[in-house]
């Protein structure tokens, strides 16, 4: 029964393949916060295992986790396929496995992620609208070899292809870090006297900074919902932006999903569970491709916080628990 399930405390491991960026930090912190209050308070014994960004280390770590027989394993994976045999072992041992953020293809594991089709499509659509269907753009290819990077790039290009007037004149690898984004855009600016828009996979604020440094006019920029990006878009004169969201609270959602499955024994209908965050933009925007996509207008104090750290990912909290900006940034 329900009451019995309420009493049970689950042992859940979160295996994270990489700690070296702000998003992952926030993701881990949010995970910890969401089991310490709200509906999950006292329900979960959460242990986070970080590995040094190698698939081998994550396999070894997962093997260790499996041997300690937890109820569920949440995985932010270093590869979408290479962990499959190990994950299969976990499933076979009766452990609930949920991959999130960078998900895996192993059918026995759930895949909880942002909608990597919708996000690039809506943002490319926005860009096309800004350009009036005509112009030259740069596209960020993210990180070589990363599945999400490939999905985002493809998403951008698929939509842009529908506008014959739009030409992709250059690509660079932003690697989800400010330095490479800024340097990549700067190199392309040198090669191309004219550019009308930039579709990044990272901050977007790096692209804006590169434009400023090169003394160019600020063109429409696509990026993601980091606090610094929102602030840069709001504060920079003439900036036009749309920011897609890959919420750091994916981890909280994964925990919740795991607890639900463990409590009820009922499995979700779909292996894929999509989490949709709102877009942020400098002006109202209505997508025709995805009419249900919500776009908030960037407003300082409401969804851009000058006092919060620039690396904070927005939105901060899922709706079933309240996580404050301070909790999310750990300050």
**Near other proteins in 216-245, by CB under 8 A:** 227-228
| Closest separation in Å from C-beta 122 to other proteins | 23
Measured from the CB atom, is 272 or 286 closer to other proteins?
Answer: 272
List the interface residues with other proteins, window 73-112 (CB under 8 A). 79-86
Write down the least CB distance from residue 196 to other proteins, Å: 16
Three-point CA angle 294, 297, 299, nearest 5°: 140
Task: Report if residue 157 touches other proteins, rule: CB under 8 A.
Answer: no
Q: Which bin fits 260, alpha (ψ -120 to 50), beta or left (φ > 0)?
A: alpha
Which residue stretch of 186-194, 252-260, 265-273, 295-303 sits at the interface with other proteins (rule: CB under 8 A)? Answer: 186-194
Provide the minimum distance between the beta carbon of 274 and other proteins in the complex, in angstroms, as a whole number.
20
The CA-atom distances, in angstroms, between 222 and each of 120, 136, 140, 169, 245 are 9, 14, 10, 16, 11
**Rounded to whole angstroms, what are the CA distances from 277 to 55, 118, 293, 314?**
29, 11, 9, 9
Q: State yes or no: residue 191 binds other proteins (CB under 8 A).
A: yes
C-alpha distances (whole Å) from 126 to each of 65, 129, 240, 315, 322 are 44, 5, 10, 20, 31
CB atoms inside a 10 Å sphere around CB 164 = 9
**150 near other proteins, rule: CB under 8 A:** yes
Q: Is 297 in the site for other proteins (CB under 8 A)?
A: no
Looking up tokens 């909790």 gives 327
Stretch that binds other proteins, among 24-32, 90-98, 264-272, 314-322 (CB under 8 A): 24-32
| 247 interacts with other proteins by CB under 8 A | no
Task: Report the nearest approach of other proteins to the CB of residue 25 (Å).
Answer: 4
């Amino acid at each position: 029964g329900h009451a019995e399930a309420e009493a049970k405390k689950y042992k859940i491991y979160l295996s994270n393949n990489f700690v070296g960026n702000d998003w992952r930090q926030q993701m881990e912190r949010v995970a910890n916060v969401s089991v310490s209050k709200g509906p999950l308070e006292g329900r979960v014994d959460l242990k986070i295992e970080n590995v040094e960004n190698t698939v081998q280390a994550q396999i070894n770590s997962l093997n260790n986790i499996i041997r300690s027989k937890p109820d569920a394993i949440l995985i932010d994976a270093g590869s979408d396929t290479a962990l499959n045999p190990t994950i299969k072992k976990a499933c076979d041992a009766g452990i609930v496995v949920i991959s999130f953020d960078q998900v895996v293809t192993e059918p026995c594991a759930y895949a909880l992620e942002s909608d990597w089709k919708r996000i690039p499509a809506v943002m490319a659509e926005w860009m096309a609208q800004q350009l009036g269907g005509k112009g030259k753009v740069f596209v960020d290819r993210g990180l070589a070899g990363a599945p999400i990077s490939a999905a985002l790039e493809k998403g951008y290009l698929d939509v842009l292809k529908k506008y014959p007037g739009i030409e992709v004149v250059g690509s660079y690898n932003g690697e989800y870090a400010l330095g490479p984004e800024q340097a990549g855009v700067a190199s392309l600016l040198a090669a191309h006297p004219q550019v009308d828009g930039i579709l990044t996979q990272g901050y977007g604020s790096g692209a804006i900074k590169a434009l400023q440094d090169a003394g160019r006019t600020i063109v429409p920029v696509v990026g993601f919902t980091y606090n610094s990006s929102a602030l840069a878009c709001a504060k920079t004169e003439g900036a036009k932006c749309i920011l897609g969201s890959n919420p750091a609270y994916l981890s909280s959602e994964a925990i919740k999903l795991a607890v639900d499955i463990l409590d009820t024994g009922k499995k979700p209908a779909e292996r894929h569970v999509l989490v949709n965050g709102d877009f942020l933009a400098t002006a109202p925007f209505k997508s025709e491709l995805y009419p249900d996509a919500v776009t908030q207008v960037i407003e300082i104090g409401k969804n851009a916080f000058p006092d919060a750290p620039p690396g904070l990912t927005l939105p901060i909290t899922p709706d079933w628990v309240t996580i404050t900006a301070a909790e999310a940034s750990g300050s």
